[in-house]
Amino acid sequence: MKEFAKIFSTEKGQILCLIQQADFGEPEVRVFAQPEGLGVSSTALKFADSEQGWEVAQKLFDNMTSERAVQLCKPLFDFMGGAA
């Protein structure tokens, strides 16, 4: 069975990564995290709705590590953390 989700326990808390089809059919890798004092928030990297777009999204997801997940969430933590 092909994975569609990964969860990492990090110094920033849990980060959930999903590879999925976005609203208009394009592939996306979405990350969910909970900045301190706030609810669960997410951000996504979207790719072209093409075979190559799906290949790039899948490669990003397959190579996702906890360090990369934290890096992807950094703008989310910086922005949302400043709002708290």
For residue 49, is pLDDT > 70? yes
pLDDT given for residue 80 in this prediction:
60
In the predicted model, is pLDDT for residue 40 greater than 60? yes
Supply the pLDDT for residue 84. Answer: 46
pLDDT on residue 2? 86
DSSP result, 7-76: EEEETTEEEEEEEEE-TTS-EEEEEEE--TTS--EEEEEE--SSHHHHHHHHHHHHT--HHHHHHHHHHH
Average pLDDT of the segment spanning 34-56: 91
pTM of the model: 0.86
Asked if the model's pLDDT at residue 36 lies above 90, the reply is no
